Amino acid sequence: MKMISDTDLRLEQAASTFAALGSEQRLTVLRTLVRAGPGGVTIGQLGERTGITGSTLTHHMKILAQAGLVRQEKQGRSIICAAVAYEELRDLAGFLLRECCADAAPDITPEGHDHG
């Protein structure tokens, strides 16, 4: 039986999160919610800000919620949408950058410019 290493698990989680973000519209929704802050916005405001409405917005929110990136909460007659995974997004960026330039030639900077 193959053992799953911590690195494999992180890779699997990162791939799953990237899959959820693999749509311009979902990425737009998440960026809009991140900009709105922890208090979020109503589903109507989210639609206005992104230009995505109705069942399409509902579909994208469902995928982002399943990935643990956003939440939807009923408050009175409104549905409030908010990003919730700020730390996970930082971790995802860290996952990408953790080994930055590890295999680069020693005379090349991370920006890709020669030292000399």
In three-state form (DSSP H/G/I as H, E/B as E, the rest C), the secondary structure along the chain is CCCCCHHHHHHHHHHHHHHHCCCHHHHHHHHHHHHHCCCCEEHHHHHHHHCCCHHHHHHHHHHHHHCCCEEEEEECCEEEEEECCHHHHHHHHHHHHCCCCCCCCCCECCCCCECC
The two tokens of residue 103 are 């295999």
* Confidence class for position 17, pLDDT limits 50, 70, 90: confident
Do the domain assignments include residue 115? no
Which residues constitute the domain of residue 79?
A: 8-97
Does some domain include residue 102?
no
Would you say residue 92 lies in a domain?
Answer: yes
Over residues 82-97, mean pLDDT: 85
Number of structural domains (the chain) is 1
Residue 22 lies in a domain: yes
60: CATH: 1.10.10.10
Q: pTM surpassing 0.85?
A: no
109 is a domain residue: no
